[in-house]
Amino acid sequence: MSRLTASALAACLTLWFGLADAWLGTARSADPKFGVIRAPSLEQAKQQTFETLNALRADASVLQKVEPLWNPADDRSLLDRVAESFSTADPRVAELFSAVRSPSSPGTVPEFLKDPGLPVFFRANVGLAYARHLVNRRVNEEALEILRSVRPEQVVDPAAYYFYKAVAENRLLLKEEGLQSLERLLNTVADVPERYKVMADLMRREMQNWKDKDLGYVARRMEEVEGRLENARGGPKTQAKQKEIIDLLDKQIEELESQCQAMAAGSGGTNRSSSPLPDSRIMGGAGPGNVDKKKLLKTLEVWGKLPEKEKVKALEAIKRDLPPYYQEAIEGYLKELARGAQK
C-alpha cells in the first residue's frame, strides 16, 4: 500500500511539474519579459494592414489609394504607413488625426478605439499613433489610458510604444511604472532607434534620482500643470494640482526660513561664517534684495500685480535650489499664473 501511495505521489508530482513547465513555457512566449520583441518587416506590416483593411471591408478604390503608401523607397516609418493607411480607409481615423493637431482639440479617447468588434491590429496601431500625438501635446493622461489598453506585440513599432508610454509616465510622476517601461524599452525590444536609447537613458537617470516632495518634484508638478493649461484644462483637477504646488512651495519656504533663523542664531545674529556657505542653502539676514517669497506665491492676484523686478528676484530665490533643467518649467508656470490672474 505504501509503495502504491509512493508511486501515485510520484506520478502526481511528475504530472504537476509537467503542467507547470508547460504553463511557464506559454508564459515565456507571451510575456515580453522572457524574450525580445521585434518590429515586423515592411512586407509583414503591409500584409497585416491589407488583411485588416479587408476585414474592415475597404473597397478596391481605397486599397488602390493605400498601395503607394507602402513604396519601399519611401522613408516613412512603419507606424506612419499604417496610420495613414487606416486614415485613408476610415473617416473616423482621418478626423481623429486632423483634430489632434489642433491646440483646441480636447484630446479625449475616441469610443471606436474601445470597440472590441474592430480588429486588434487596427485599434492598437491607430491608438499608438494617436497616443504619440497626445504625448507631443502633453495630453498625458489620455495617452497613457490608450497605451495601457495596447500590448507592444500588437503594434508595428514596439520601441515607440514603450518610449511614449515612459514619457507619459514620467510627466505624470509615475516613477515605478516609468522605470519599468524604460527597462522594457532598453532590454526587451530589438533595434531600438538611437534617439530613443539616448532619451531613455537620460529619463532613467533622472527618475532614479527623484525625491518625494522636494523642489524637483514641485518643478515637475509645475510642468504638468503648465501642459494642462496649454491644452485649456483649467478645471477643478488642474486647480487642485495648482493648490498642491502652492502648498508644497509654502512648506519649502518655511523650511528655508527655519534654516536661516537657525543659522542666524548660531552665528550670533550675523551672516559671517568661518567657512563658505554650501550652494544649496540660502543665507539669512535682511539685507537689500530679499523677497518675501511666501507672500509672492500665496495668491495669483499678488503675483500678477508684482513689478517686473520683484518677479525676477522671486524667481531667482525660488530657483536657487533647482538644477537648470527645471528653470523653464518654473518660468512657464508662473507666466500662466500671471495670465490667469489678469483674466
Helix 158-171 × helix 215-230 angle, to 10°: 110
Query: 124 burial class (0-12, 13-18, 19+ CB within 10 angstroms)?
Result: buried
pTM for this predicted structure: 0.61
Residues with Cβ within 8 Å of 188's Cβ and at least 6 positions away in sequence, in order, are 32, 33, 35, 36, 37
**DSSP-based three-state secondary structure for 189:** strand
Of the two residues 41 and 321, the one the predictor is more confident about is 41
Q: Which of 78-87, 130-139, 208-217 has the highest mean pLDDT?
A: 78-87
**DSSP-based three-state secondary structure for 150:** coil
Which pLDDT does position 231 carry in this prediction?
Answer: 60
User: What is the distance between the alpha carbons of residues 155 and 121, in angstroms, rounded to a whole number?
Assistant: 7
Each residue of 305-315: pLDDT tens digit? 556 666 566 55
Which pLDDT does position 341 carry in this prediction?
Answer: 52
Do residues 302 and 296 touch, judged by C-beta distance below 8 A? yes
Dihedral (CA of 80, 86, 87, 88) sign: positive
